[in-house]
Amino acid sequence: MVQNIPESKTYPVPFIGFSEMWESLASEFKSLAYYLLLYSFLLFPITFPILVVTVVATVLLFPYLALVDAAYYVVMAVAKAVDKRQYRTNTKRLVCPECGRASGRPFYDVGTSAIEGLRPSKNGIFSVEMETASFPCFGSKGGRKGLVQSCPLCSSVLETAEGKPFVLSVAGAPSSGKTSFVHSVTGRLVSTSGNGKADKAGLYHAWEGAELAAYRAGTCDPTPASFQKPHVVKLESGRLTTCRLLYMYDIGGAFFTGQIETDMQPQYAFSDALAFVLDPTCDRPADAALDAYRVFVGRYRQFNRMDASMRIDVPLAIVVTHADVPGPLSWLSGSELRDRMADIGYFNLVNSAERDFRRVSFFSCDARKECKETGDAVKRLCEDAGEDIGQFFS
């Protein structure tokens, strides 16, 4: 989606970029140059004949003015290019919690017309943190939070309060514990109020509350492969100018059997992190995990148009469930879990993951409970991705 750069003084963007700064600075120098040349031109006739003044003006003055104008336009062109790059970087993207699709940015309703809005990001103009109250990124205090924003793709009204999303997609073989892992992370995040650092932590969708209640009661139904809505946790803190949103896409295990068309689950094209879940207690666990992993990576590369020689920059966590069941992988993490997996039959999976991804971490957990280990896995992914939402996990 092509983003049009807004004018610097038009609503709702109090856009203070490099071009405006350089325009002011260049104008001052240009005015100074004109004044200096004017005074020189007036003083020349006192000591030089008018013919000499004319020759000097022709030879020196006009080329000098041309150089000043050329330098001015070059500086403005470079500054505008830098502005465009910063604008597109800082507006980031919108991930709709209703339709699950990504777009450039939302729309705001102003009177009878809809205007394109902005997405906040970690760094604002001039790399100023968006949490800085004296200079909120893109006018977060300018009243835009009170405007109704909607998704440009499905027109759903969004209650995100200019939230900054962190998108986590979960993969794994059928019945590997993906849905339980998502509910474990969600439940603990809400019950602990984001490690005590959120003034408010809640679920975005009403249906998520019903599913979480069923999970806590011991029931966890598998997710259909056609399901594309994300689980969304909304975290608000007075320390932050905007809220934080954790999106978790729970994808049905049938998608990783290779029997479903690849035009589904396009969220793999805009994930900030990935979690691959495996169940060591199932039948032939190493083979089941490896088969699902190969389909998962193949689909990911297809969605992102990556060939097999390219390593994936998005961080990956390999999460082993059922850690409460005694076994060689129970309650291990990090390099210890990685080495143990390589020793007992998961060598091809470990080797493939480290070859495909630049950053791979390993965790084990009991996904049937809201345990600390599931939060640790997501926290590590946030840190590897360079996102500050990791502070809300214990």
For residue 25, what pLDDT band results from cuts at 50, 70 and 90? low
- 165, containing H or E segment: strand 164-172
Looking at the fold, whether 65 and 186 belong to one and the same domain comes out as: no
Whole-number Å distance between alpha carbons of 175 and 7 = 52
**Number of separate domains in the chain:** 2
More confident residue, 69 or 238: 238
Is the pLDDT assigned to residue 279 strictly greater than 90?
yes
294: in domain? yes
**265, two tokens:** 């689950």
Angle, helix 206-216 to helix 178-191, in steps of 10 degrees: 100
For residue 375, what pLDDT band results from cuts at 50, 70 and 90? very high
pLDDT at 82: 64
Looking at the fold, whether 272 and 364 belong to one and the same domain comes out as: yes
Looking at the fold, whether 80 and 177 belong to one and the same domain comes out as: no
Is the pLDDT assigned to residue 50 strictly greater than 80?
no
Looking at the fold, whether 357 and 223 belong to one and the same domain comes out as: yes
**Lowest mean per-residue pLDDT among 3-7, 18-22, 208-212:** 3-7
Mean pLDDT within 143-170: 75
Looking at the fold, whether 382 and 285 belong to one and the same domain comes out as: yes
Domain end residue (candidates: 91, 110, 128): 91
Between the alpha carbon of residue 158 and those of residues 66, 194, 205, the distances in Å are: 52, 22, 11
pLDDT at 38: 67
For residue 84, what pLDDT band results from cuts at 50, 70 and 90? low
**Lowest mean per-residue pLDDT among 2-11, 230-239, 314-323:** 2-11
What is the per-residue pLDDT across 317-359, written as a single tens digit (0 to 9) for each?
A: 999 999 889 889 999 999 999 999 999 999 999 999 999 999 9
Looking at the fold, whether 85 and 226 belong to one and the same domain comes out as: no
Looking at the fold, whether 193 and 280 belong to one and the same domain comes out as: yes
For residue 12, what pLDDT band results from cuts at 50, 70 and 90? very low
375: in domain? yes
Looking at the fold, whether 87 and 177 belong to one and the same domain comes out as: no
352: in domain? yes
Mean pLDDT within 172-184: 93
Angle, helix 285-303 to helix 347-356, in steps of 10 degrees: 20
Mean pLDDT within 141-166: 70
**Lowest mean per-residue pLDDT among 142-156, 214-228, 356-370:** 142-156
pLDDT at 66: 72
Mean pLDDT within 272-289: 94
Mean pLDDT within 280-289: 93
248: in domain? yes
More confident residue, 189 or 253: 189
The mean pLDDT of the chain is 76
In eight-state DSSP terms, residue 288 is H
Whole-number Å distance between alpha carbons of 290 and 280 = 12
Looking at the fold, whether 182 and 85 belong to one and the same domain comes out as: no
Is the pLDDT assigned to residue 127 strictly greater than 50?
no
Where in the sequence is the domain holding 69, given as residue range(s)?
A: 18-91
Whole-number Å distance between alpha carbons of 145 and 359 = 36
Whole-number Å distance between alpha carbons of 275 and 270 = 14
320: in domain? yes
Inter-residue contact 124 to 17 (CB < 8 Å): no
Looking at the fold, whether 181 and 328 belong to one and the same domain comes out as: yes
Is the pLDDT assigned to residue 278 strictly greater than 90?
yes
Inter-residue contact 361 to 334 (CB < 8 Å): yes
Instruction: Please report, for the domain that includes residue 330, its CATH number.
Output: 3.40.50.300
More confident residue, 106 or 20: 106
107: in domain? no
Looking at the fold, whether 179 and 35 belong to one and the same domain comes out as: no
More confident residue, 86 or 321: 321
> Cβ-count burial of 254 within 10 angstroms (0-12 exposed, 13-18 middle, 19+ buried)?
middle
158: in domain? no
Looking at the fold, whether 77 and 177 belong to one and the same domain comes out as: no
329: in domain? yes
Highest mean pLDDT (candidates 137-151, 230-244, 378-392): 378-392
Is the pLDDT assigned to residue 42 strictly greater than 90?
no
Whole-number Å distance between alpha carbons of 43 and 63 = 20
More confident residue, 179 or 254: 179
